[in-house]
Amino acid sequence: MQPSAASATPNKGGKISFAFKAKTAPAPAPKPVPDLAQRMLAREPPQRAAEPPSRNRMPVGPPPKFKSEPRFDRRDRDRDRERDRERERDRRERERDRARNDRRDFRDSRNYRDTREPRGPREPRSMREGRRDDRRFDSPRTERPRGDRKQDFRPDRRPERSPEPRKQIKIMTRIKPRPVLSEEFANSDSVYYRKPGNESVIGAGTYGKVFKAIHVYTQRKVALKKIRMEGEKDGFPVTAVREIKLLQHLRNNNVVSLLEVMVERNECFMVFEYLSHDLTGLINHPTFTLTEAHKKDLAKQMFEGLDYLHHRGVMHRDIKAANILISNRGQLKYADFGLARFFSKSRQLDYTNRVITIWYRPPELLLGETRYGPAVDVWSAACVYVEMFTKKAVFPGEGGEISQLDKLYNCLGTPNRAEWPDLIEMPWFELMRPTERKKRIFEEVYGEILSPAALDLISHVFQYDPAKRPTTGQILAHPYFTTEEPRPQQAIELENIEGDWHEFESKALRREKDKERRAEYQRDKEKRKVAPLAPQSDRDAKRIKAGSEHQSDSAQPAE
């Protein structure tokens, strides 16, 4: 250790002393005391080194730090307050229910002033009721001293009052007076009145009869089609079932509407809307005649209705003038769907060929074809159209297939394989092979009756091959309906016709005329028989008298 530098310090006695001082290190400075944040930071684990990014692992950084906002704190505070209010409200309700149940247990049934409601035998003691309950038996609140009373801002605080009695809504129903029926309808035992006997019959056939009736309350005219039930193995005719099913799915201005099906006195009726005429009755009307514009309009409606049926996949299979109804305003509608069937547009199905009235039946059905389509309806509609001009059937056979085919061959000529490739494949072709070749004379016979456009249209329809016949859409686009004059005009003049004209009335009128004609013929025949038996003297006297008159006339001079 090296001696330190000497320092001379004077003493009190004036002497100077020399002392040696050792060299020492200075005192260390006090360490600063770390605060809480530094101590917490020292306790945290050391940070890990950043790892290189991986394809399957996304880099994860420190969680984001959200800044505290006053609005979030206020929202939490409001939620806590609401939760406290709910708890307090539930506690008060439990106490109120418990107090009410206690009072209901001790109700005195002998005291009429005790209005407390007793609890039922199956009602639990601690039944939880809703908030809107009867508070008439709640205990009054305990009054606290005025100094301890604090203001209460609870939103559910309500004044204590007795509940209002529930208002009973009375529905006042006025009894509708029963309509007074006329003397004619008062004695009717049905809601549809029809005249007794055969006065109300407007049609008859194999299916049954059709009656004209009137609804006794609404005064609406309807047609009642009586379904014939005799001799049915299944109890109900399948044709009626098909007709009802089809008409429930068809809604068109050119299709008759089925209103309802009625059972009355063990008889079943189909209730249709009533139309005053059918095409057969109008064609044979003694005074009214359809104009060219009327006929064109009826033909257009006929093919429009047929186009609707074919688009819905329905074949009528019984089109004739008697099954086409016409209203007083000239509206045409198809009726009698007893033979109608659905057909498939994608594949051919087998049907019976014993359909369509034989005068309107196409040649393929006459030759026994069972795989056919809507072309059979087009042929029948064309026959009806020509009948409007001639007032008689265009191919009136004698009732059999051979006779009907002869009528076709005489007018349309004998078919060959060039015109009809499938001719020899018809089931009955060998049985009904034509014996001689005949020429087509249809255009010559009807050229003076039909207009040029109408003749061209019908000539295209009356083809033996059903594949070559035009469809209903092509027929409606023909120049006969689009460009040729006169334009179609609805027959509104039918309102002026007196009475209803159907096939039934026209047949009755025809029978009366035939009866009168036969009676007149019989009278003439009797007169011819009586004339030779007259005395000779009378005949001579008449001859002499006639001769004298002739001579006197010839003797007078000419002026």
Instruction: For residue 401, give every residue at least 6 positions away whose Cβ sits within 8 Å of its Cβ, in sequence order, or none.
Output: 358, 366, 428, 432
How confident is the model over 10-46, as pLDDT tens digits? 555 555 555 555 555 666 666 666 666 677 767 666 6
134 in active site? no
Rounded CA gap, 244 and 237, in Å?
11
DSSP 425-489: GSTTTTTT--SS-----HHHHHTTTS-HHHHHHHHHHS-S-GGGSPPHHHHHTSHHHHTSSSPP-
Q: Are 184-273 and 277-505 in the same CATH fold? A: no
- What is the mean pLDDT of the segment spanning 181-196? 84
DSSP 221-236: EEEEEEPP-TT-SSSS
Q: For residue 417, which amino acid is it?
A: R
Q: Write a three-state SS string for 343-355.
A: CCCCCCCCCCCCC
Q: What is the DSSP letter of 325?
A: E
Q: Is the pLDDT of residue 153 over 60?
A: no
For Cα atoms 479, 480, 482, give the angle at the middle one, nearest 5 degrees.
55
Strands in 123-207 per DSSP E: 192-193, 201-205
Task: Answer yes or no: CATH 3.40.50.720 is held by domain 184-273.
Answer: no
The response to whether 225 counts as a known ligand-binding position is yes
Mean per-residue pLDDT of the chain? 80
Centroid of chain to Cα 126? 57
User: What pLDDT is attached to residue 463?
Assistant: 95
Share of the chain above pLDDT 70, in %: 70
Q: List the CATH code of the domain at 277-505.
A: 1.10.510.10
- What is the mean pLDDT of the segment spanning 485-497? 91
- Model confidence at 4, pLDDT cuts 50, 70, 90, reads very low
How confident is the model over 418-457, as pLDDT tens digits? 999 999 999 999 888 888 899 999 999 999 999 999 999 9
- What is the mean pLDDT of the segment spanning 501-508? 73
**500 vs 374, higher pLDDT:** 374
- Per mean pLDDT, which range of 227-236, 349-358, 527-536 is the poorest? 527-536
Q: Which range scores top for mean pLDDT: 151-165, 281-295, 304-318?
A: 304-318
Q: For residue 115, which amino acid is it?
A: T
Residue-range domain boundaries for the chain:
184-273, 277-505
User: What pLDDT is attached to residue 96?
Assistant: 84
- How does 13-45 read in b/e, with b if 16+ C-beta sit within 10 Å? eeeeeeeeeeeeeeeeeeeeeeeeeeeeeeeee
How confident is the model over 505-530, as pLDDT tens digits? 667 666 777 777 788 878 887 877 77
How confident is the model over 30-88, as pLDDT tens digits? 666 666 667 776 766 666 666 666 555 555 556 555 555 565 567 778 888 888 999 99
Nearest Cα neighbor of 374 from 345, 336, 339 is 345
Question: Peptide bond preceding 486: is omega within 30 degrees of 0, i.e. cis?
Answer: yes
pTM: 0.62
User: What pLDDT is attached to residue 406?
Assistant: 93
Which of the residues 318, 336, 377, 406 is marked catalytic? 318
